[in-house]
Homo-oligomer: A and B are copies of this chain.
Amino acid sequence: MSEWKLNNYISVDCVVFGFDFEQLKVLLVDRVLKDEKTGNELFSDLTLTGNHIYEHESLEDAAARILFDLTGLENIYLKQFAAFCDPDRLKRPNDQAWLRASGRDPNSRIISVGYYSLLATKNVTLKWKGRNVKWYPVSEIKDLAFDHYNILQSALVALRRELLYEPIGFELLPEKFTLSQLQKVYEVILGVNLDKRNFRKKVARMKYLIPLDEKQKGVAHKPARLYMFSREVYEKTRKEVLDFNI
């Protein structure tokens, strides 16, 4: 067993969420299968970004590697949310053809562990193995290759829940952000409208959201104050939630 050999049975799929101050987006890759002889396109659809793990590699390392190969970024927010191993998850005709064409056993049982990650789409340059990677609005996605639509929906549920209980909204924004941008993150992902004044009162209680002596520039309206997240303050002031529902 070479350490630098890919494991045939264990893969990681990354649901890379991005935010452009307007919509929640996700990174998807074109999958185009062409007829070996004629070169005609047999089908074209979209997949999440993912890969098999190396024999020496942890799941988390594999997810971070995929993210790095895609974006060149490190230390991105990354969270395991579920494992997918349904016996039929790769059995649709297109998927079977794709596996055969890429020299893999279409009958082998492959488990995929799902990670989602959060980043601001701004200033991210995408490339991946010469394949076509693009941001797609989550709300417009109808179906994906393999069981990736299922994985995406599952990631969304996990993200919403995490967003309700942990301070992660700013992971979808640049390092310095405005409160309106942060509010929009919550509105888009939770699918609600929030009151600006109440939202700001809440932020004011969260001491780890630090107001900077710095303002937006070049906007055609009153420039907003910038904030940043302080993990140090967060770690010091976090207290356990105890407001449970029975």
A residues neighboring B (CB under 8 Å): 1, 7, 9-10, 53, 55-59, 80, 82-83, 85-87, 107-109, 111, 113, 161, 163-167, 169, 182, 186, 190, 192, 199, 202-203, 206, 209, 241-246
Query: Roughly how many angstroms separate A245 CA and B107 CA in the complex, as a whole number?
Result: 45
Task: Report the minimal beta-carbon distance from A150 to chain B, rounded to whole angstroms.
Answer: 13
Complex contact B186–A109 (CB within 8 A): no
Query: Roughly how many angstroms separate A167 CA and B246 CA in the complex, as a whole number?
Result: 5
Q: Of B1, B87, B186, B241, which is within 8 A of A164 by CB?
A: B241
Complex contact A244–B186 (CB within 8 A): yes
Task: Report the minimal beta-carbon distance from A204 to chain B, rounded to whole angstroms.
Answer: 10
Query: Roughly how many angstroms separate A190 CA and B58 CA in the complex, as a whole number?
Result: 31
Complex contact A53–B85 (CB within 8 A): yes
Complex contact B203–A246 (CB within 8 A): yes
Complex contact B10–A246 (CB within 8 A): no
Complex contact B10–A244 (CB within 8 A): no
The contact sample of 23 A-B pairs, CB cut-off 8 A, is A1-B107, A1-B108, A7-B109, A9-B10, A9-B111, A53-B85, A55-B87, A57-B87, A58-B86, A59-B83, A80-B83, A85-B113, A111-B111, A164-B245, A167-B245, A182-B246, A186-B246, A190-B244, A192-B242, A203-B246, A206-B245, A209-B246, A241-B245
